[in-house]
Structure 1
């Protein structure tokens, strides 16, 4: 086996890259199109980006994007867990917009990749390198632990398994189930319409502005940078499903959702609560997200991070996410 490093995802054949991503069951964040879109329209400032490919002969058996970043902390979690990294350049995989870190691989390559990671971090002038948003107990987590690398907790992401909408509702508490159904009725009475669109047919500039305003309201300003978010989403192509919720033609909620083989990711959203009527536009958006995931045949709803009270109440369970950083 040999480990190759490329300065750009564009240098790597998409079919080669995706063959590993799909065979390993890695999430949408590792698709060639996603990594390329992030390179084209980075949602966080990075000093440099590149990619590892591990080959057995000519066959790719592992892939990994990496990013050299100094301002790496739009949600503040990383510097809370690792205060000693503030202001230091870090070589990370993946970016914070990926909340489910993996090493897509069809062979046991983690020791080789860690060696290559160490060398690349030194060459690029990083003070630390490693992984963020590693689900505690998954294959990557176990491999890093076996290598003697300690983890520090960052945050949680929220997810649930899906079959049918009625089965999903049946798992909720009586109050949450009643609230969702009542909210649907009130929204319909208030003239709310819902439309699911491909990225190139959605009002992305309007949606990006709403996402930016929502992030600012929750003190995560800069997480969805306006025009860059529009460019990024357009570059994702058919990985994206956009949900628009409107009242009297005014956008009151929107979701930018991503899908892979089995998972539906409610990746980004924006909500305007100044509505006409006694309904929650966020509740409408969430309910439609569950229904859309089921219509698309996805068996897992990934609800992302934050808003834990709502997500727990609506049947999602926490997945503990850790960071594993190594000083160069």
Structure 2
């Protein structure tokens, strides 16, 4: 099968097609489904193109598309994963031998994953999950998986399909559908609102905080700086992958930066808005100049204000630092790794491994401690 080959199958009312390259897919049609299904930038054609340009590991695209008649109604980005530092860390913690490659939908790097379907065609999700299983068999993958599936309807559907699940991390999200910035902050009591407002102002002293993109070299330098400071290997976010994302996702970029008095960019929240969701996926800090993320609160306040005053309906603030993100009005959304296999004894082993994984990853404040290799 070449990179532009496709195969088709019919499951129930839906036909599913396989594409082995994002370049064999109509990007506008794919993104239409993502937008209608409430997906984020992590499901977009451009994100998948960046993954194909410079994959952060050994990944072979196996994207699935669901059609009703000739209309695209569902999508499921997926990869045969041969090498992934994030997955390797998780299986090490779970004491799990996957016995070869895994077909994964779609990336542990993303803030959400799994299949999507437009409203009225939710049954297409079952067709896509069935096609995921069949594609795994055809590609010699004993195990297939859904990465970072958010808690909710998708999680229930995965369990009905026999998946073993583990809560591996938590994302923090907030609704920004407020009439004004003042209305947004009204969830805080008067005294607390004044206290936190002062903290945000103080954290911005000496810095110019603005919604302004950082150039690619600065973004890579600051992201790798904070990864190294936290003891996270940079192979989870290789330089080439970050450059590819910066290029491919440029139409959606909305980044907040902090510049010091010497006009040096010392902090960055790199994010992208797709439809109504603004996803703040990467944080970067010049750890040689700053021992802690001093302008964090001022940057976060600028982010909230930028969302409320534009067409953003929700912000995904990403993983970790839950206590600070709750102060911004965010609520936790558990993200799950779901694993499945056709062998009953292997399936029992997957359930046991997922239980071990949750026990060994559990960290404070409802946040699984995945910082070392799954930032």
Task: State the TM-score bracket (shorter-chain normalisation).
Answer: 0.7 to 0.9
The residue number in structure 1 matching 2:173 is 159
Give runs of aligned pairs for residues 79-94 of structure 1, distance below 5 A: 79=91, 82-85=94-97, 88-94=100-106
Structure 1 residues 215-265: Cα deviation after superposition (integer angstroms, max 9, x where no partner): 222233223222430232111121111222100211111111111222211
The residue number in structure 1 matching 2:277 is 263
Distance (Å, rounded) in 1 between the aligned partners of 2:286 and 2:151:
34
Indicate conservation of the 8 Å contact 1:176/1:313, yes or no. Answer: no
Structure 1 residues 129-156: Cα deviation after superposition (integer angstroms, max 9, x where no partner): 120111122x321222233434222121
Query: 1:293 and 2:293 equivalent?
Result: no
Which range is displaced more, 178-187 or 62-71? 178-187
The residue number in structure 2 matching 1:205 is 217
The residue number in structure 1 matching 2:367 is none
Q: Do the aligned partners of residues 224 and 179 (structure 1) sit closer, same or farther apart at CA in structure 2, a change above 3 Å counting?
A: farther
What SS is found at the alignment partner of 1:315? coil
The residue number in structure 1 matching 2:151 is 136
What SS is found at the alignment partner of 2:112? coil
CA RMSD of aligned residues (A): 2.7
Q: Do the aligned partners of residues 221 and 146 (structure 1) sit closer, same or farther apart at CA in structure 2, a change above 3 Å counting?
A: same
The residue number in structure 2 matching 1:22 is 35
Q: Do the aligned partners of residues 252 and 183 (structure 1) sit closer, same or farther apart at CA in structure 2, a change above 3 Å counting?
A: farther
Structure 2 regions of 5+ residues with no counterpart?
1-13, 343-375
Residues paired across the two proteins, number: 322
Indicate conservation of the 8 Å contact 2:164/2:340, yes or no. Answer: no
Which range is displaced more, 306-315 or 257-266? 306-315
Q: Do the aligned partners of residues 224 and 278 (structure 1) sit closer, same or farther apart at CA in structure 2, a change above 3 Å counting?
A: closer
Distance (Å, rounded) in 2 between the aligned partners of 1:173 and 1:274:
37
Distance (Å, rounded) in 2 between the aligned partners of 1:68 and 1:279:
37
229, 251, 260: which one aligns with 2:265: 251
Which range is displaced more, 93-102 or 79-88? 79-88
TM-score, normalised by the number of residues in structure 2: 0.78
Distance (Å, rounded) in 2 between the aligned partners of 1:184 and 1:282:
8
Indicate conservation of the 8 Å contact 2:229/2:287, yes or no. Answer: no
What SS is found at the alignment partner of 2:79? strand
The residue number in structure 1 matching 2:4 is none
117, 134, 157: which one aligns with 2:132: 117
Which range is displaced more, 149-158 or 82-91? 82-91
Indicate conservation of the 8 Å contact 2:17/2:65, yes or no. Answer: yes
Which range is displaced more, 73-82 or 141-150? 73-82
Query: 1:145 and 2:159 equivalent?
Result: yes
The residue number in structure 1 matching 2:50 is 37
Distance (Å, rounded) in 2 between the aligned partners of 1:75 and 1:178:
43
Indicate conservation of the 8 Å contact 2:204/2:298, yes or no. Answer: no
TM-score, normalised by the number of residues in structure 1: 0.88
